[in-house]
């Protein structure tokens, strides 16, 4: 059995607001296996965003341990963690988060700069990914010249740029119409099925969650259901 990409052991995240302590996560244990498609669901304030930050190694737990590729992230330097995270995980956000002053091509190239990919390879890879996502004619356009669906596809291309083992998508269809949202989920599903890569989607939408193989429900900072589900007709 392959080692988990991400493993959380009794993870707590406690925020201190003056004299008040708020436990956003309370003793969460879970593993994200290679090649899985996982949805994380829960009501507003349940701890979804904090759990996402832990799975994405964007934050350090107050108590407990988070392992990325078998390495305890608390034992890594900031530079070591940033490099390992950038190599292993691609991120897609609801607000797109692409840089408006850069073209689609430049946005996709950027993560590869931090991984020291040679310039020629960066440009060739970015063009190839954008073309595969139907954006070949839009590579020189800035975000203000793109539709919402196109901007999200640029964000996905950027997430794919370093050939990560896992892509984490936070409400990736939240700002899109239903047709654009369906296209985005088909792209993520293809990445999972054809490339054998891991996808983690944070969503409140049961239809979006229906694309996944496993649903993790979180409530009041605790995982309440973590199980496989039957494949549903889409």
CA distances 69 to 160, 167, 200, Å, are 18, 14, 16
**Of 226, 191, 183, which is closest to residue 208 (Cα–Cα)?**
183
With tokens 């890594």, the residue in question is 76
pLDDT digits (tens, 9 = 90+) for 181-224: 899 999 999 999 988 899 999 998 888 999 999 999 999 999 98
As a whole number of angstroms, the longest Cα–Cα distance in the chain is 55
**According to the CATH classification, is domain 34-49+77-228 in 3.40.50.300?**
yes
Lowest mean pLDDT among 13-17, 24-28, 51-55, 227-231: 227-231
Domain segments of the chain as ranges: 34-49+77-228
The pLDDT, as a whole number, for residue 219 is 92
Predicted model pTM: 0.88
Distance CA 125, CA 138 (A): 15
Query: Can you tell me the distance from the alpha carbon of 123 to that of 112, in angstroms, rounded to the nearest whole number?
Result: 9
Say what percent of the chain tops pLDDT 70.
95
- pLDDT averaged over the chain? 89
Reported as a single tens digit per residue, the pLDDT across 25-46 is 999 999 998 999 999 998 888 9
Alpha carbon 122 to its chain centroid, in Å, reads: 21
Confirm if 42 and 205 have CB atoms less than 8 A apart.
no
């Amino acid at each position: 059995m392959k080692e988990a990409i991400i493993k959380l052991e009794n993870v707590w995240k406690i925020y201190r607001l003056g004299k008040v302590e708020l436990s956003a996560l309370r003793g969460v244990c879970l593993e994200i296996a290679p090649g899985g498609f996982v949805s994380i669901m829960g009501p507003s304030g349940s701890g979804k965003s904090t759990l996402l930050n832990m799975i994405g190694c964007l934050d350090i737990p107050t108590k407990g341990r988070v392992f990325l590729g078998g390495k305890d992230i608390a034992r890594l330097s900031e530079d070591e963690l940033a490099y390992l995270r950038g190599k292993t995980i691609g991120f897609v956000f609801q607000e797109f988060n692409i840089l408006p002053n850069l073209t689609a091509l430049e946005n996709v190239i950027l993560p590869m700069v931090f991984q020291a990919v040679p310039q020629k390879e960066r440009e060739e890879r970015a063009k190839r990914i954008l073309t595969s996502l139907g954006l070949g004619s839009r590579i020189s356009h800035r975000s203000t010249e793109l539709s919402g669906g196109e901007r999200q596809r640029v964000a996905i291309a950027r997430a794919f740029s370093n050939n990560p083992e896992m892509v984490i998508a936070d409400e990736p269809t939240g700002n899109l119409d239903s047709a654009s949202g369906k296209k985005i989920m088909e792209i993520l599903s293809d990445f999972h099925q054809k490339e054998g890569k891991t996808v983690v989607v944070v969503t409140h939408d049961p239809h979006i969650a229906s694309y996944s193989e496993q649903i993790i429900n979180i409530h009041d900072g605790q995982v309440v259901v973590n199980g496989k589900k039957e494949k549903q007709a889409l």
